[in-house]
Amino acid sequence: MIELKNITKKYGRRKALEDLTLSLPQGKIIGLVGENGSGKTTLLKLISGLVTPDSGRATFSGSRITRKVASNIAYMPDADLFYPYFTVGQLIEFYESQFVDFNTAKAKEIAQFLNLSLDSKIKNLSKGNRGRVKIAVTLGREADYYLLDEPFSGLDPMVRDDIAKGLIRFTDPERQTVLLSTHELKEVEPLLDEIVVLRGGRIIAHEAVDVIRDTYGKDATSWMVSLFREGS
């Protein structure tokens, strides 16, 4: 269980996160949505131990989150941070050397599923295929949590569909949680168990997708739009 209690994170005078409290149980696919600058990336970095809160407490299984949490949490940033001279196969080997929970056979299976050649050099891949590579090496880990920062950003519908299918096929819904930030809520809604909505560094809603449909009688996108209209 990941638990954040009264988290505030500042960059200079700007509060990226303010008095944020959130619990993330295992076995869920959770969408993290909000406007640009709402704090989504900061929240993912904080959970992954890359940044520390200025106040509040962030814990994983009861222990304070530090960089050591990387052994249990797989973080996929929005930016491409790969060595361009690596082939896909060499990148998989590199990840195997960095993470004790990395499953090379699984990563290669995901790469094959996503139509990636292990011999292709990263620098020669299209943006869509680099997105596929990021998913293959991230899900290749047997982590408790996967944190994905805008995994669908700028990708064509076919690539987004492949990645969505990969998230379902190559994660264990009983024990692994996926937290993904996205602007493509309409397309990923069928994948999601829950949605967390950020605005101005604060959580303004956290609901199960089934509750949104049954209680509010709306799809997730319409529900989110109404939230922002009510709060504006």
pLDDT confidence of 194, banded at 50, 70, 90? very high
In this predicted structure, what is the pLDDT of residue 12? 92
Average of per-residue pLDDT across 26-48: 94
pLDDT digits (tens, 9 = 90+) for 142-191: 999 999 999 988 788 888 888 888 898 999 988 999 999 988 788 888 89
- Residue 81's contacts (CB-CB under 8 Å, 6 or more residues apart) are none
3-class DSSP assignment, residue 55: strand
Q: How many domains does the chain have?
A: 1
**What pLDDT is attached to residue 231?**
64
Instruction: Take residue 101 and report the two structure tokens written for it.
Output: 């929970």
Report the mean per-residue pLDDT for the chain. Answer: 92
List all residues 6 or more positions away from 167 whose beta carbon is below 8 Å from its beta carbon: 29, 135, 139, 178, 180, 191
The CATH code of the domain that includes 51 is: 3.40.50.300
Residue with tokens 């520390």: 52
> Which residues are CB-contacts of 125 (< 8 A; sequence separation ≥ 6)?
133
Per-residue pLDDT band for 199 (boundaries 50, 70, 90) equals: very high
Higher pLDDT, 232 or 176: 176
What is the extent of the structural domain holding 162? 2-231
pLDDT score, position 173: 85
The whole-number pLDDT of residue 6 equals: 97
